């Protein structure tokens, strides 16, 4: 297995366009793959020839600075933004937990009400459409809440929940359709350390159950601790591989645009050595 190398120009290889790094062998089933994705927003190219994949039972973290295109890549994988180039292949449903939720936390609804929203084709909170759920729907909601360890709080109003509890409810909403892959945009943002650790355990449990996870985050400590694979992104993919393979400081300097004495490099060294 060869070590990944920094590279800023798009790859021309049809089988791995935009994904640089070690060639990894795996017996896991790939459930979502984007190849050579390019996206422009507002007349500006924000994603260039980027490739990424999600394998069943694996946690894949997406790392890069603000403005690197992480959210755009997650949205492009779902067809939520127009692609100028590239293709996406998926095997099964996609669950998505965005960074900014479309929920009014002061609205008088419970955890199970919010999770039920994942079963309707509607992005705005409208409890009138949730009247009379079927028994299979109720079972699916209960199963999703149980997976995120929130079943005992299913009748608690979301306005009375902590930030970590709310995040678990939003993950349950994404899981209620039993997707094969879960995409999470900055799931640790605004949470205290115990809540972050609880979410990390949850993601490990979901992966152990066979769910594929792609997660963008600025929290390098938790990301590299739980990741099976990491992709460094700054508009294009700089490198991708198992965290232990991403030892070259130049990769992180290129991605985060920092100097050789940056504390970031010392932090990374603790996880990649």
Which pLDDT tens digit goes with each residue over 78-132? 999 999 999 999 999 999 999 866 667 778 889 999 999 888 754 444 454 545 6
| Domain architecture of the chain: domains with CATH | 26-92+180-273 (3.40.50.300), 98-179 (3.40.50.300)
Give the β-pairing of 30-41 and 44-55: antiparallel
pLDDT per residue over 209-232, tens digit each?
Answer: 999 999 999 888 888 889 999 999
DSSP string, 78-104: TTSS--SEEEEEESS-EEEE-SS-S--
Q: What pLDDT does residue 124 have? A: 42
Question: Is-above-0.75 flag for pTM?
Answer: yes
Residue 17 near residue 10 (C-beta atoms within 8 A): yes
What is the C-alpha to C-alpha distance for residues 35 and 52, in angstroms, rounded to an integer? 7
Q: Round to the nearest angstrom and report the end-to-end CA distance of the chain.
A: 16
């Amino acid at each position: 297995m060869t070590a990944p190398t920094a590279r800023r120009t798009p790859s021309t290889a049809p089988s791995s366009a935009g994904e640089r790094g070690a060639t990894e062998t795996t017996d896991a089933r790939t459930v979502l793959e984007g190849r050579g994705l390019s996206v422009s927003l507002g007349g500006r190219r924000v994603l260039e020839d980027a490739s990424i994949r999600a394998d069943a039972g694996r946690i894949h973290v997406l790392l890069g600075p603000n403005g690197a295109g992480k959210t755009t890549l997650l949205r492009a994988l779902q067809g939520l933004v127009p692609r100028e180039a590239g293709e996406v292949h998926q095997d099964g449903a996609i669950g998505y937990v965005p960074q900014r939720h479309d929920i009014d936390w002061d609205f008088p609804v419970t955890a199970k009400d919010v999770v039920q929203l994942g079963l309707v084709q509607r992005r705005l909170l409208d409890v009138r459409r949730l009247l009379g759920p079927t028994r299979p729907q109720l079972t699916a909601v209960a199963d999703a809440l149980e997976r995120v360890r929130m079943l005992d709080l299913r009748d608690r109003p979301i306005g009375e929940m902590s930030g970590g509890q709310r995040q678990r409810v939003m993950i349950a909403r994404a899981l209620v359709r039993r997707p094969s892959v879960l995409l999470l945009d900055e799931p640790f943002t605004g949470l205290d350390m115990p809540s972050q650790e609880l979410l990390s355990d949850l993601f490990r449990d979901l992966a152990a159950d066979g769910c594929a996870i792609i997660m963008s985050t600025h929290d390098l400590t938790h990301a590299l601790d739980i990741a099976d694979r990491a992709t460094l992104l700054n508009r294009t993919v700089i490198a991708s591989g198992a965290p232990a393979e991403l030892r070259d400081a130049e990769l992180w300097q290129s991605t985060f645009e920092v100097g050789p004495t940056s504390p970031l490099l010392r932090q990374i060294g603790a996880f990649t050595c």
